[in-house]
Amino acid sequence: MKLTKTLFATLILPLAFLGQSSAQESLLEELDEDPIEKEFVPAFKAMKIGNLQSTKVASAGDWYMYVSHRFGNFSDGLSTFFGLDAANTKIQLVYGVLDGLQVGISRESLRKTYAGSVKFRLMKQEGQKPVNLTAYSTFNWNSQLSADRYPNLWWPDRLSYATQLLISRSFGEKFSLELAPTYVRQNLVWQKTQSHDQLAIGLGSRLKLTKRLSLNADYVWNLSRVDYTQFRDPLTIGLDLETGGHVFQLLFSNAQSTNEPGFISNAEGQWLTGDVFFGFNIVRVF
């Protein structure tokens, strides 16, 4: 329980830096104006906080390309050159079908996973509306599973799903917070005692340090995780750098997968032992 409280506290700590960011404002002043979001200032500038989905949704007609890269375990040391030899890459395309409705497809090298997703904005924070409200759902297909290794494998065993209600609020210009009640379905679990249906609660935050730089963190508490498991709750900490039509996200996480069922259910690292993965997301809007 103490560990859980510590991890949640990590997401709120950025508030302590609010008074120290003004001296850094000039670092990125000369970059071009960001065209990613013109209509309103969202709680989060990218569609992901780190690993956790944010409430941001693509505008109608916009194409986004996400390249997500997670290196191997940093604690492996020189044997894998601190994880550089064992990378996981995900490429995702997202299209704004309507204003507030987007669809996406992706492929992640970890477990050779194909995924599709839908994201829909239910409410904007404006006027008398106190929060942003977005629904998100994804399905994943694990193509790496082999019938030779698992003779009783049936095609639905390859599938996993996640559905989230994303609730965020911007507290002024510098700080935003998000709550994400989550349901995950894993048709194939790696421990007999682990439930296929899992409930989780995600929490994410963003602290604006300068005009173009922000400190982000997210954590997901899996309420259905069994005791004595090899997997942990995912904690991700990183920086967002906005440069015109791009957003660069540099991050550390104890989960190597970037797909929701993967990192929420099967985060394999542990922060307390330095068992983490360095990575980045690159976002480009067309």
Q: What pLDDT was estimated at residue 274? A: 84
State the chain's mean pLDDT as an integer: 85
- Residue that wins the pLDDT comparison between 284 and 12: 284
- pTM score: 0.82
Residues 62-96 as b/e (b if ≥16 CB within 10 A, e otherwise) read bebebebbbbbbbebeeebeebeebbbebebebbb
Instruction: Lowest mean pLDDT of 85-89, 115-119, 120-124, 208-212, name the range.
Output: 85-89
pLDDT at 80: 59
Indicate whether 122 pLDDT > 60.
yes
* pLDDT digit string, tens, across residues 16-63: 444 444 444 443 443 444 444 444 557 998 999 999 999 999 999 999
pLDDT in tens, 198-252: 999 999 999 999 989 999 999 999 999 998 899 999 999 999 998 876 789 999 9
Model pLDDT, residue 246: 78
- CA 173, chain centre distance (Å): 22
Predicted pLDDT at 245: 66
Q: Please tell me the predicted confidence (pLDDT) of residue 22.
A: 43
Widest CA span of the chain, in angstroms?
62
Residue 4 has pLDDT above 90, yes or no: no
Q: Which domains does the chain have, with CATH numbers?
A: 2-285 (2.40.160.40)
**166: its two tokens:** 């994303």
Mean pLDDT of 168-187: 96
Query: Is residue 9 over pLDDT 60?
Result: no
Over residues 68-82, mean pLDDT: 69
Amino acid at 263: F
The neighbour count for residue 151, using CB atoms within 10 Å, is: 7
Residues 6+ apart with CB under 8 A from 242: 28, 31, 34, 36, 45, 212, 213
The pLDDT value given to residue 82:
52
Which region among 5-14, 129-138, 174-183 has the lowest average model confidence (pLDDT)? 5-14
Share of the chain above pLDDT 90, in %: 62
Structure tokens at 1: 């329980």
- Report the alpha-carbon distance of residue 221 to residue 219 in Å, rounded: 7
Higher pLDDT, 99 or 31: 99
Mean pLDDT for the stretch of residues 95-100: 96
Q: What is the pLDDT of residue 83?
A: 52
Report the C-alpha gap between 157 and 150 in whole angstroms.
10
CA 70-76-82 angle, to 5 degrees, is 55
Give dist(CA 244, CA 234) in Å, integer: 30
Closest alpha carbon to 124 in 93, 167, 156, 183: 167
Q: Where are the alpha helices (DSSP H) in the chain?
A: 2-12, 260-265
Q: How far is CA 196 from CA 31, 193, 243, 259, 265, in A?
A: 47, 9, 41, 17, 10
HSE (side-chain half, CA atoms, 13 Å) at 113: 25
Work out the percent of the chain whose per-residue pLDDT is above 70: 81
- Which of the four pLDDT bands, split at 50, 70 and 90, describes residue 114? very high
